[in-house]
Amino acid sequence: MVLRSALRRFGVALSTGVLAAVGLAGPALAAGQGFTITDAAITDSAGLATDSARGLYWTANATTTPGIVYSINSHGATTRTVTFLASPSDVEGLAYRGGALYVGDIGDKTASRSNITVYRLTQLSGGATVYNAWDFRYPDGKHDAGTLLVSPRNHIYIVTRGSGAAIYLAPTTLSTQKVNTLTRVATAPTDVNDGTWLANGNVVLRTVSSLVLLDPNTWATKATVTMPVQQGGDAITTALSGGGLVAGSTTSGVATLLVSTPSSSAGTSSASASASASAAASEEEIDVSALPSPSNNGRTIAISIAALVALAAAAVVALKR
């Protein structure tokens, strides 16, 4: 996720219509309303987090001194900058929860860091902010990570990548005076670059070529959606429109992917109900490889994944999360 070229930016896409119903021979292509972040200060974008309350996205450079985060509106324009007096070495994940922005300084490609850090920024109106900083170590050695998740109950999870990739949970009570030890809770795909918590309680992880839907109560895989490879495709977050996920690219001009996601209530449509009746309870593979590969024309590809919608709509969120 760490990109050194000052010319690279995030490309993102927003929902503009209804996706294809269940039973179509192949995924539908649909027009979208995308945007590209063009702020010259954002040279090394590390991810996206959705702030629905303010109607904007948050992003940050992978390396910055002091720490700076940027709010981006739905047209790609920077609306404010927020600073915090820290020096992150490799920001690789962002999450927004409960009015606060979590910044994950969790990258460690050379396995040389004795600990990683998560910052929680609590004043986001602009200028300098108050923040918490928690240091973490893994219980089983050093790992590189590209994904920070924060549950509805404000529990912090980090997803590592590479050999032995796994999902780790931070302690419920965090200390700012000592290094906190993470707990390994599940295995993860080897190449997860980002992830997000959905409104209905499920978690989506993004790999190089797929989206993986997980039940956070057991961390079992509920569905896997194969996507065309997206050059520089490192970000996934919920769309401000509320109609899906935004899959972001860190390379300017590359096509962006908009993926339909489940609503927060079951029985969203007759199509979903039909799919629910026929979908297997175990992992569901939905191949969208027939889609044309992304090219440098800025178009948006909408992928219909009704079976994923149906599987997720039946999820029940445990109170402990």
Beta pairing class for 180-181 and 183-187: unpaired
pLDDT value at position 300? 31
* Gap between the Cα atoms of 14 and 244, Å rounded: 8
pLDDT value at position 226? 81
* Gap between the Cα atoms of 40 and 6, Å rounded: 8
**φ, ψ of residue 308 in degrees (nearest 5):** -65, -40
pLDDT value at position 146? 95
Question: What are the per-10-residue average pLDDT scores of the chain (321 residues)?
Answer: 35 33 23 66 86 93 90 89 94 96 97 96 94 97 97 97 96 97 96 93 91 95 81 82 75 45 32 25 30 30 35 33 46
Map 121-165 to HEC letters: ECCCCCEECCEEEEEEECCCCCCEEEEEEECCCCCEEEEEECCCC
* Gap between the Cα atoms of 212 and 161, Å rounded: 14
Judge residue 253's burial from the number of C-beta atoms within 10 Å of its C-beta, 0-12 exposed, 13-18 middle, 19 or more buried: middle
Q: Residue 156 CA to chain centroid, in angstroms?
A: 14
Q: Which domains are present in the chain?
A: 11-313 (2.120.10)
Contact 245, 237 (CB under 8 A): yes
pLDDT value at position 251? 60
pLDDT value at position 228? 66
pLDDT value at position 9? 41
pLDDT value at position 76? 82
